[in-house]
Chain A
Amino acid sequence: MSILSDALEHHPETQPFWSALGEGRFLLKHCRACGRAHWYPRAICPFCTSADTEWREASGDGTIYSYSIMRKAKEPYAIAYVTLAEGPTMMTNIVDSDLEAIRIGGSVRIAIGKRDEDLLPLFRLA
Chain B
Amino acid sequence: MSEWLERHVPKVVLAPSFVAILFFVYGFIAWTAWVSLTRSRLMPKYDIEGFIQYERLFAAPRWDTAMNNLFIFGTLFIVISMILGLLLAILLDQKIRTEGVIRTIYLYPMALSMIVTGTAWKWILNPGLGIEAMVRGWGYEDFKFDWLVNSDLAIYTVVIAGVWQSSGFVMALFLAGLRSVDGEIIKAAQVDGIPTWRIYSAIIIPSMAPIFLSAFIVLSHLAIKSFDLVIALTGGGPGYATDLPATYMYAMAFSRGDIGQAASSAMIMMAVVFAIVVPYLYSELRAAKND
A, B from the same assembly: no
